[in-house]
Amino acid sequence: MHDKVIARLRRQIAAVLILKHALLWLAAWAFMWGTFVIVWRVATGVAAAELWLGLAAAPLLTIFAAGLALRGVPSRARLRAVVDGASGCGGLLMAAAETPLGPWRKSLPDPARLQVTWRGGQAWLAFLAGIAFLLVALLFPQSLVTLAGAAPLDITQETQQLAAQLDVLKQEAVLDPQRADFLKDRLKQLKEDASGTSPVKTLEALDHLRDIATKAAKQAAEAAVAKTEKLGQAEGLAEGIRKNDGELEPKLQKQAMAALAALVQQAAGETDLVNQHLDPELLKRLQGARLTAEQLQKLAEALKASKLDLTKMVEKLRAAKLIDIELLFKCNAAGACDCDGMLAKATGKTKSTKGGRGGVTEGGGSSPITWSHDTKEDSTKFKEETLPPGALAKLRESTLVGVGQANPDGDKQRDPSQGGALTKAPAGGGSANAQTILPRHQPTVERFFARPKTKQD
């Protein structure tokens, strides 16, 4: 009977130890495997079904844990000693394993009812926590994993804007269609490859494409300004000749026509003037031949139409935010028609004594100042400038150390006076001294420089 009790006790201890070891080992494995699953899913962005195969390790691990546990099960001799002590056998039960008890067997007391008590709360808690962690790792939605991981960089808005700009450049023949398509393909690829893990590269590439577009647009706009100027000159001359038809000497008329022909020829070579607006016959007649007033008017209209086309192109570039509004204004100003001035320049004479042509060889001589139009207000208005990136960054990083009552030191802010009265002045006027003032002073200075309104305004 005692042997049965000992055997049963041993089995119970073995079962408890196996369960304890299995729970702890499975808990450890669940945490490890769960961590691996999470890292795998975040890194690859794939919730592979193969990750569930890790569960197949559970039975193997249980067997391993059972093997370890069985090594800790006490021997029969030790359990016999426990039963001997608990039952009050006084060593008889232990002696029974080494020597026959003989008549003493009858005096062996009944074995004590021993049971194995295991405070397994912590082991169960660890196991359940491990399983819960593993299940969460396996079942967590992949979209949320990806969102939390390597999210793509959203540059849709920027790419759409840039694509529209490239379309405009393509339509206005600023960029070759092939070049424009190539850049659009690159933009598309950039959008697909944009990733939250390396935004710098993506944004740098985007900036590079944007620079290409804006540079091309700026070059086109500046070329348009130059062409518009020439067209304006040709138009002015044509109008001047037409207005003074019959009043000019034949020699001067011829001279003027030759100058007109040269200007128109040049313009025809640079723009689509001939193709779109000017009759080729008219151009032929222009070469050295006299044109009638009607023909001169047609010519002027064609030149004006070409000027308008260029202005429209520049307006489109401006609307696509490829160029500043300044260039648009420049273009508009460049096309201003100065009929009398151009005629005078072409013939070397004017209707009245109006001074010399100027220049190195023909300069000098007093000549009255020719006013063709009032100085435009635009140049005196405050030019809004965007701060250069360096200054802006400096401003952002700067800290306010105090606020003073005194005005800012004007000397530091004063830009040096430019050489030449009107160097870098915009077309139609400008100021030699560019003074940077604070925004709060703008209204005051504007009022100071405000022109009284004239009857014409």
Q: What residues from 192 to 221 belong to the interface with another protein (CB under 8 A)?
A: none
**Nearest residue (CB) to another protein, 24 versus 162:** 24
**Nearest residue (CB) to another protein, 28 versus 82:** 82
Paired tokens of 226: 């130059």
Dihedral sign (CA 123, 128, 129, 130)? positive
* CB 7 to another protein: min, Å: 15
Residue with tokens 């140049």: 379
**Nearest residue (CB) to another protein, 15 versus 437:** 15
* CB 123 to another protein: min, Å: 8
Paired tokens of 168: 């405009």
The DSSP code for 414 is B
Alpha carbons 354 and 32: distance in angstroms, whole number? 97
* CB 25 to another protein: min, Å: 14
* CB 40 to another protein: min, Å: 35
Only one of the segments 26-34, 69-77, 156-164, 178-186 lies at the binding site for another protein (rule: CB under 8 A); that segment is 69-77
* CB 16 to another protein: min, Å: 6
From candidates 4, 113, 447, 455, binder to another protein by CB under 8 A: 113
x/- site string to another protein, residues 137 to 166, per CB under 8 A?
------------------------------
Alpha carbons 100 and 77: distance in angstroms, whole number? 16
Counting contacts by CB under 8 A, is residue 420 touching another protein?
no
φ, ψ for residue 8, nearest 5 deg? -65, -40
Alpha carbons 100 and 308: distance in angstroms, whole number? 128
Alpha carbons 275 and 269: distance in angstroms, whole number? 10
Which residues are bridge partners to 414 per DSSP? 435
> Mind spelling out the 3-state secondary structure of 152-182?
CCCCHHHHHHHHHHHHHHHHCCCCCHHHHHH
* Alpha helices (H) in 271-324, listed in sequence order: 280-286, 293-319
Of 196, 184, 132, residue with least CA distance to 159: 184
Only one of the segments 11-19, 263-271, 280-288, 410-418 lies at the binding site for another protein (rule: CB under 8 A); that segment is 11-19
From candidates 119, 284, 396, 440, binder to another protein by CB under 8 A: 119
**Nearest residue (CB) to another protein, 105 versus 208:** 105
Residue with tokens 């050295």: 288
The CA-to-CA distance between both ends of the chain, in Å, stands at 127
From candidates 51, 114, 252, 437, binder to another protein by CB under 8 A: 114
Total number of residues that touch another protein (CB under 8 A): 42
Q: What residues from 73 to 102 belong to the interface with another protein (CB under 8 A)?
A: 74, 77-82, 84-86, 89-92, 94-95, 97-102
* CB 90 to another protein: min, Å: 4
Counting contacts by CB under 8 A, is residue 241 touching another protein?
no
**Nearest residue (CB) to another protein, 88 versus 199:** 88
**Nearest residue (CB) to another protein, 112 versus 131:** 112
From candidates 9, 163, 169, 263, binder to another protein by CB under 8 A: 9
Only one of the segments 55-63, 110-118, 191-199, 440-448 lies at the binding site for another protein (rule: CB under 8 A); that segment is 110-118
Report how far apart, in Å, the C-alpha atoms of 435 and of each of 326, 382, 412, 431 are.
19, 10, 10, 10
Counting contacts by CB under 8 A, is residue 71 touching another protein?
no
Amino acid at 295: Q
* CB 130 to another protein: min, Å: 18
Only one of the segments 9-17, 332-340, 353-361, 405-413 lies at the binding site for another protein (rule: CB under 8 A); that segment is 9-17
* CB 32 to another protein: min, Å: 23
**Nearest residue (CB) to another protein, 37 versus 96:** 96
Q: Which residues contact 188 (CB under 8 A, 6 or more apart)?
A: 159
Of 148, 127, 11, 145, residue with least CA distance to 69: 11
Counting contacts by CB under 8 A, is residue 126 touching another protein?
no
Report how far apart, in Å, the C-alpha atoms of 175 and of each of 172, 266, 361, 384 are.
8, 22, 42, 29
Dihedral sign (CA 231, 237, 240, 246)? negative
Amino acid at 131: I
Counting contacts by CB under 8 A, is residue 17 touching another protein?
yes
Which residues are bridge partners to 382 per DSSP? none
Binding residues for another protein (CB under 8 A): 9, 13, 16-17, 20, 72, 74, 77-82, 84-86, 89-92, 94-95, 97-104, 107, 112-120, 122-123
